[in-house]
C-alpha cells in the first residue's frame, strides 16, 4: 500500500476527533524584557481604539497606561505629575507608555483628545489611543498598566516574579467567580515557579477594603476555593479534590481586599521539620538571611522564607500550634503573631491540635500587620496606655555577645518608653511556690508530655486515620507515604491510652488558669497587667545550617518559653530588633542573622501589643524589616 494512502487515512481520523474543547488560559509576554502574564478574560472592554496601528504590538496586544483625571483638572502638567507617580509601582514600567488611555472622571472628554500626541516626562512621545468619559464610579477603570486589543478588550496583566527561595507550593490567579486557579505561566529559572502580582496602582484602601491590593501568600494548610490543599504531603494532594470554599481566615482577608498570589510551603501536616533531611516530600524553602543556607524553621516555612525574600509579597498567613509562626519569624527576622487562642474560627484549616491551633501573620511591616489583624480578628480593641509591669524570662543579664547586647539595649529602651524597670521571672520557682494543690511541683515534669500528647492524639484522630482510610480505599489497602517527623509523633501518641488526651487537656487548663491568675492577669485600663519578654533567636550566636546531618526527628517533649503561649492561650508576638554576626562555614565570610524578641500579654490583649509595636516604631525603637541578606537589606546570596 502506498504511504500516501496511510497518511490520508490517519489525517482523516485526526480531523474526526479534533472536535475538542479549546480554552485560552491567557498568555505570557515580555515588555521591556520584563515578563507579564495576560489573563484570558479582559477586565473590561472599551470602544475599539482607532489609532492602535501607530504603536508596536505583541500579537493583537498593545501596552497602554490608563490615567484617570478629573475633567476640571486634565492639563498636560497634571497628566505628567500623575504618570511620574506611577514609577513607584513595581508592575508598571515605561513600556506601558506606548499608548495612553485617558479617563475623564465626571465629565466629557475633550473632542480632540483621541489621536493626540502626548509629550511624556523626559521628552518622548506617546499616543492617546482613547479618551473616555466615565460618569459615575461604577464604570471607572482603575489607573495603571493594561494591555488592550484591537477589539477594545482591556486586560490587567500580572508581573511575573521568580520564586527563587522555593517559598510557594502553588502560585494562583483569581477567577471571576471568587474561586482560584493555578497560574498558567512561568519564567525562566530552575525550580523557580513564577508568581504573578497585579499593579498596586489599581487599588486604594478604604474603610470597607482596608487591605485593598495587599498581596497575600497563604500557608498550604488553608483551603482556597477551587484549589487543592497539600498539607505538605504529596499523597494528600493527589487524593483529595479541590476545596469548594475558602477557609474562614482566608475569606476574611479576601473580604478586606487582600489579593491571594499563591499557596506557600508548610512542613508536613504542620509538624516541626528541620531542613534538609526531614523534608522528604517537598524541599524546604530557603532562608534568605546570612549565607542563605540556614534553616527557615517550620512549619510556616514558606511564609517565612517568602517574607524575608520578596519585597513584592506584603503579607503571609501562617498558623501556630507550638511555634510555627514564631519560629520562621524569629530566624527570618519578621513580625509574626501567635494570637490569643480562639480569636478566629479555623474552619477549612488542617488541624494539628484544636486546643492549641491559631491563625496569624508573618510580615515585614507593622502597619500592614495591624491592618490585617483588624480584618482577621473580628474583635481587636487597640490601646494607648501600657502596663507598668514588665517581666523578662531567660533574658541575658550581661552583654556577653552581640545578640545579648542588642537584647539588653532593646530592653532598656522599652523600659524607658514604658517608664518602668523590668523584673526577671523564674517560672520554675514561681510555679513551685504558687502552683495549685494536687499537681506536680516541678513544672518541667508536670508539662513534659502535654504538648506531644495533644498534637499526636488529636492529629491521628482528625487527620491521619481518615487520610489512611481514604487512601487505602482507592489504592487497594495501601498506606500513603508520610515524612519521618509526623510518623514519629503519631507513633508516640499511639503508645499512650486515649485517656491521656483528657489528662493533657486538663494539665494545659491548669497551667492556663495559673498563668491568668498568678502571672499575667487582665487589667481594666491596660488590658494586661504586664508585658513579658523572652528571646528565641540569638542571631549569629545560633546558626542552624541546612546542610548539617541531624539525628532523626524526636518527640517534642518538655516545657520552655515557647510553650507558654500555646498552654496559656495568650498572644505571643515576634519583633525583629537587630542582627548579630557569625563566621559562616558556607561562605567563609562574616554574615549576619536576625535577633528578635517575643512579647506576651494576657489572653485577649492582642490589640495591646499591636498598639505597642506601632508606638515603638514611631519612637524609632522598632523598624520595619526589609527583605535581603539582613533585616536592613542587602543582596540575597544565590538570588536567581
Ligand X SMILES: *[C@@H]1O[C@H](CO)[C@@H](O)[C@H](O)[C@H]1NC(C)=O
Residues making contact with ligand X (CB under 6 A): 50-51, 73, 78, 81-82, 94, 97, 108, 110, 112-116, 120, 122, 124, 133, 135, 394, 426, 428-429, 439-440, 444-446, 448-450, 453, 461, 498, 500, 503-504, 507, 516, 522, 527, 540, 557, 581-583, 602-605, 620-621, 623
The answer to whether 101 and 129 have CB atoms below 8 angstroms apart is yes
CA gap 258, 203 in Å, rounded = 10
CA gap 295, 289 in Å, rounded = 10
Pairing of strands 522-523, 527-528: antiparallel
Q: How far is the CB of 331 from ligand X (least distance, A)?
A: 17
Nearer to ligand X, 185 or 504 (CB): 504
Q: How far is the CB of 124 from ligand X (least distance, A)?
A: 4
Q: How far is the CB of 284 from ligand X (least distance, A)?
A: 25
Nearer to ligand X, 223 or 404 (CB): 404
Nearer to ligand X, 42 or 604 (CB): 604
Q: How far is the CB of 428 from ligand X (least distance, A)?
A: 5
Q: How far is the CB of 259 from ligand X (least distance, A)?
A: 25
Q: How far is the CB of 55 from ligand X (least distance, A)?
A: 12
Q: How far is the CB of 470 from ligand X (least distance, A)?
A: 15
**Secondary structure tally for the chain: helices H, strands E:** 16, 25
Nearer to ligand X, 256 or 601 (CB): 601
Q: How far is the CB of 116 from ligand X (least distance, A)?
A: 4
Nearer to ligand X, 165 or 527 (CB): 527
CA gap 495, 334 in Å, rounded = 38
**What is the rounded (10 degree) CA torsion for 257, 383, 425, 568?**
-50
CA gap 323, 321 in Å, rounded = 6
Nearer to ligand X, 180 or 514 (CB): 514
Nearer to ligand X, 394 or 615 (CB): 394
Per-residue CA distances from 65 to 140, 148, 542, 619 (Å): 14, 10, 49, 40
Q: Which residue is nearest to ligand X (CB)?
A: 604
Counting Cβ atoms within 10 Å, is residue 332 exposed (0-12), middle (13-18) or buried (19+)? buried
480-490 as b/e, with b when 16 or more CB fall inside 10 Å? bebbbbbebbb
Neighbours of 286 (CB within 10 A): 25
* Residue 106 DSSP label: T
Neighbours of 548 (CB within 10 A): 14
CA gap 228, 230 in Å, rounded = 6
Alpha-helix runs per DSSP H in 383-497: 402-418, 427-434, 443-446, 450-459, 465-474, 484-494
Nearer to ligand X, 181 or 505 (CB): 505
CA gap 248, 372 in Å, rounded = 14
Q: How far is the CB of 112 from ligand X (least distance, A)?
A: 4
Nearer to ligand X, 283 or 618 (CB): 618
The answer to whether 593 and 600 have CB atoms below 8 angstroms apart is no
Amino acid at each position: 500500500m502506498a504511504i500516501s494512502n496511510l497518511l490520508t487515512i490517519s489525517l482523516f481520523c485526526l480531523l474526526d476527533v479534533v472536535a475538542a474543547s479549546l480554552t485560552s488560559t491567557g498568555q505570557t509576554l515580555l515588555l521591556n524584557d520584563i515578563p507579564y502574564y495576560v489573563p484570558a478574560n479582559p477586565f473590561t472592554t472599551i470602544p475599539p481604539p482607532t489609532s492602535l496601528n501607530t504603536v508596536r504590538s505583541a500579537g493583537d496586544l498593545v501596552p497602554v497606561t490608563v490615567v484617570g483625571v478629573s475633567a476640571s483638572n486634565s492639563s498636560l502638567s497634571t497628566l505628567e505629575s500623575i504618570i511620574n507617580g506611577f514609577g513607584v509601582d513595581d508592575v508598571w514600567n515605561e513600556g506601558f507608555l506606548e499608548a495612553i488611555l485617558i479617563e475623564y472622571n465626571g465629565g466629557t472628554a475633550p473632542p480632540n483628545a483621541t489621536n493626540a500626541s502626548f509629550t511624556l516626562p523626559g521628552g518622548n512621545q506617546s499616543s492617546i489611543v482613547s479618551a473616555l468619559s466615565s460618569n459615575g464610579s461604577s464604570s471607572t477603570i482603575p489607573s495603571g498598566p493594561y494591555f488592550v486589543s484591537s477589539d477594545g478588550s482591556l486586560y490587567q496583566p500580572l508581573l511575573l516574579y521568580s520564586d527563587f527561595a522555593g517559598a510557594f507550593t502553588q502560585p494562583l490567579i483569581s477567577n471571576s467567580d471568587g474561586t482560584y486557579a493555578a497560574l498558567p505561566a512561568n519564567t525562566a529559572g530552575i525550580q523557580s515557579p513564577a508568581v504573578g502580582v497585579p499593579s498596586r496602582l489599581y487599588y486604594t484602601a478604604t474603610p470597607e477594603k482596608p487591605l485593598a491590593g495587599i498581596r497575600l501568600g497563604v500557608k498550604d494548610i488553608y483551603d482556597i476555593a477551587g484549589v487543592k490543599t497539600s498539607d505538605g504531603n504529596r499523597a494528600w494532594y493527589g487524593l483529595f479534590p479541590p476545596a469548594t470554599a475558602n477557609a474562614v481566615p482566608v475569606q476574611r482577608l479576601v473580604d478586606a481586599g487582600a489579593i491571594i498570589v499563591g499557596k506557600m510551603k508548610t512542613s508536613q501536616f504542620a509538624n516541626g521539620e528541620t531542613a534538609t533531611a526531614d523534608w522528604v516530600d517537598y524541599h524546604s524553602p530557603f532562608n534568605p538571611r546570612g549565607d542563605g543556607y540556614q534553616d527557615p524553621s517550620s512549619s510556616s516555612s514558606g511564609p517565612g522564607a517568602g517574607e524575608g525574600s520578596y519585597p513584592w509579597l506584603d503579607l503571609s498567613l501562617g498558623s501556630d500550634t507550638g511555634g510555627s509562626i514564631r519560629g520562621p519569624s524569629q530566624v527570618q527576622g519578621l513580625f509574626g503573631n501567635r494570637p490569643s487562642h480562639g480569636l478566629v474560627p479555623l474552619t477549612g484549616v488542617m488541624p494539628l491540635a484544636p486546643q492549641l491551633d491559631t491563625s496569624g501573620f508573618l510580615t515585614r511591616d507593622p502597619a500592614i500587620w495591624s491592618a490585617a489583624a483588624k480584618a482577621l480578628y473580628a474583635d481587636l480593641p487597640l490601646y494607648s496606655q501600657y502596663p507598668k509591669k514588665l517581666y523578662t524570662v531567660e533574658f541575658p543579664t550581661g552583654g556577653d555577645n552581640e545578640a545579648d547586647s542588642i537584647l539588653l539595649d532593646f530592653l532598656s529602651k522599652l523600659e524607658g518608653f514604658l517608664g518602668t524597670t523590668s523584673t526577671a521571672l523564674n517560672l520554675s520557682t514561681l510555679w513551685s511556690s504558687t502552683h495549685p494543690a494536687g499537681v506536680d511541683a516541678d513544672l518541667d515534669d508536670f508539662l513534659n508530655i502535654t504538648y506531644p500528647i495533644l498534637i499526636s492524639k488529636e492529629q491521628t484522630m482528625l487527620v491521619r486515620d481518615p487520610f489512611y482510610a481514604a487512601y487505602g480505599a482507592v489504592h487497594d489497602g495501601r498506606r500513603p507515604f508520610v515524612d519521618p517527623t509526623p510518623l514519629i509523633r503519631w507513633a508516640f501518641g499511639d503508645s499512650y491510652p486515649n485517656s491521656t488526651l483528657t489528662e493533657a487537656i486538663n494539665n494545659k487548663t491548669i497551667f492556663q488558669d495559673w498563668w491568668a491568675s498568678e502571672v499575667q492577669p487582665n487589667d481594666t485600663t491596660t488590658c494586661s497587667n504586664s508585658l513579658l519578654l523572652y528571646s528565641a533567636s540569638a542571631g549569629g550566636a545560633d546558626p542552624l545550617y541546612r546542610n548539617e546531618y541531624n539525628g532523626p526527628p524526636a518527640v517534642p517533649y518538655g516545657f520552655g518559653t515557647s510553650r507558654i503561649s500555646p498552654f496559656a492561650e495568650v498572644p505571643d508576638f515576634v519583633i525583629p530588633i537587630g542582627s548579630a554576626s557569625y563566621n559562616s562555614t558556607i561562605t567563609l565570610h562574616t554574615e549576619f542573622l536576625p535577633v528578635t524578641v517575643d512579647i506576651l500579654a494576657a489572653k485577649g490583649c492582642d490589640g495591646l501589643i499591636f498598639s505597642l509595636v506601632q508606638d515603638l516604631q514611631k519612637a524609632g525603637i522598632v523598624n520595619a524589616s526589609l527583605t535581603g541578606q539582613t533585616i536592613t537589606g542587602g543582596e540575597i546570596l544565590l538570588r536567581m
